[in-house]
A = this chain, B = another copy of it.
Amino acid sequence: MMKMGVTAPAGFVASSMSGGIKSDGRLDMALVATEDGQAVPCAATFTANKAAAAPVQVSKAHLAETKGYASAVILTSGNANAATGVQGISDVEELCSLAARRIGSMYSSKNISPNSILVCQTGLIGIPFPIDQVRHRVDSLVDGLGGSRKHGELAARAIMTTDKVQKETYIEADGYSVGGMAKGAAMLAPNMATMLAVLCTDANCDPDSLQDILRSAVSDTFNRISVDGCTSTNDTVVLLANGRSGSVASDSLYSSVREACMSLAMQMVNDAEGATKTAFISVEGASSNSDAAKAARKVAESQLVQCSLYGEDPYWGRVASEIGTSGAMFDIDKLSIYYGDILVCRGGIAVDHDSSALAGYMRNRSIEIRCNLNLGDGSYQIITTDLSYGYIDENRTTS
């Protein structure tokens, strides 16, 4: 069987169950852990939202307390445990304590600290977390841990909300590997908008280097997909490194982690609810990379550009207009815009082109819009989708 997911690297186990958080009885709890209960180097990135959910606040505190070590990650779906105040925090701490106690008792000699457990949650905001229902299931969740392919796959299924397929990855590198799972239809299916990802590697790496590697990888991958510009209260990416396969060059580890993250990010965009297009918005020739990023993001998050993509209309005027309001240095007289390889605007004005070839290009699922500001060397790419009826249907009501 093909290796895949969080249980693929040596020494990691996973489990899943239905905890009754989702009303329809689907899987909604998962656990990923080191197979001996040992805390290992752990890196994580969290949402920048100031309304960060309880699990984000608690996980951050735990990682600070352990100075970058963790032994397990609990994940639940169906309730974000955001805007739930002190009770929400207390519920998360309770989950950690219960899991730590049970994991400890599995390895009778071990005393597992609740601080070595992290929590990721996703679902509706502002609804009290149903801890009364969930607390007595934690023991079974721990007892179900196993290292098979199936254990990993079911864990990936247990974190799905509006996702249509589970999202897993596996990168085989020289002497070690990285496996992972994620949920999130990017920020496009944002009833339960959060993106969560857990990555495991059997490489050896100290916590500080691991954090640097994860931060860079996330900034090059997950942070480059944007569907509606809405940042969730719960976004979390966790990377555990148990060291089973010994030390590896940090360049190699970075590149494997980045590849794993990009694979999961693209699975998110391709599963984005309602999307009929995947659009790669590239800005080149900006005065700086940060200007390029501003411009690419403004174009990618534009409702107008997204509507044009849905309608397969190569209306580059909107692209030019959005760059003009992005805050990036901009001289429209220097602007070129390409759809795929077709140049539609040069020197800020329309260029004759083969419009039937362009119409054909717009019918592709995957569209590249490339803008050259011709001002410098800055470049950036954002991956987005179109805006369709499906997005509205998904998000008009929570029921």
Residues of A whose CB lies within 8 Å of any CB of B are 48-52, 80, 82-85, 87-88, 124-128, 190, 193, 228-233, 302-304, 307-308, 310-313, 315-318, 320-325, 330-333, 345, 347-350, 387-389, 391-392, 395-399
The reply to whether A317 and B396 form a contact with Cβ atoms under 8 Å apart is no
With A391-B307, A398-B315: A233-B85 Cβ-Cβ less than 8 Å: no
The reply to whether A317 and B190 form a contact with Cβ atoms under 8 Å apart is no
Q: Which residue, A49, A324, A333, A345, has most C-beta atoms of chain B within 10 A?
A: A324
New A-B pairs, 5, CB < 8 Å, besides A127-B350, A308-B397? A52-B324, A83-B345, A85-B347, A228-B302, A308-B398
Q: Which of B127, B232, B311 contacts A321 (CB 8 A)?
A: B232
Query: Shortest Cβ distance from A115 into chain B, in angstroms?
Result: 23
Q: Which residue, A125, A330, A399, has most C-beta atoms of chain B within 10 A?
A: A125
Query: Shortest Cβ distance from A84 into chain B, in angstroms?
Result: 6
**A125-B313 Cα distance, complex, nearest whole Å:** 13
In the complex, the chain B residue whose C-beta lies closest to that of A314 is B398
With A84-B349, A317-B82: A325-B50 Cβ-Cβ less than 8 Å: yes
Which 3 A/B pairs are nearest by Cβ-Cβ distance? A125-B317, A311-B396, A51-B324
> Which residues on the B side are within 8 Å of A308 (C-beta)?
395-398
Query: Shortest Cβ distance from A77 into chain B, in angstroms?
Result: 16
Q: Which of B230, B310, B333, B350 contacts A325 (CB 8 A)?
A: B230
> Which residues on the B side are within 8 Å of A230 (C-beta)?
302-304, 318, 321-322, 325
> Which residues on the B side are within 8 Å of A124 (C-beta)?
315, 317
> Which residues on the B side are within 8 Å of A330 (C-beta)?
50-51
The reply to whether B388 and A321 form a contact with Cβ atoms under 8 Å apart is no
> Which residues on the B side are within 8 Å of A395 (C-beta)?
303-304, 307-308, 311
> Which residues on the B side are within 8 Å of A349 (C-beta)?
83-85, 87-88, 126, 128
The reply to whether B126 and A396 form a contact with Cβ atoms under 8 Å apart is no
Query: Shortest Cβ distance from A219 into chain B, in angstroms?
Result: 17
**A309-B18 Cα distance, complex, nearest whole Å:** 32
CB pairs A–B below 8 angstroms (7 shown): A51-B325, A83-B317, A83-B332, A83-B350, A88-B349, A230-B322, A231-B325
**A50-B375 Cα distance, complex, nearest whole Å:** 14
The reply to whether A233 and B324 form a contact with Cβ atoms under 8 Å apart is yes
The reply to whether B193 and A304 form a contact with Cβ atoms under 8 Å apart is yes
Q: Which of B307, B321, B322 contacts A392 (CB 8 A)?
A: B307
Query: Shortest Cβ distance from A301 into chain B, in angstroms?
Result: 8
The reply to whether B396 and A350 form a contact with Cβ atoms under 8 Å apart is no
The reply to whether A387 and B397 form a contact with Cβ atoms under 8 Å apart is no
**A299-B34 Cα distance, complex, nearest whole Å:** 41
**A88-B348 Cα distance, complex, nearest whole Å:** 11
Query: Shortest Cβ distance from A325 into chain B, in angstroms?
Result: 4
Q: Which residue, A127, A313, A317, A345, has most C-beta atoms of chain B within 10 A?
A: A317
Query: Shortest Cβ distance from A125 into chain B, in angstroms?
Result: 3
**A50-B332 Cα distance, complex, nearest whole Å:** 8
With A50-B324, A315-B398: A303-B126 Cβ-Cβ less than 8 Å: no
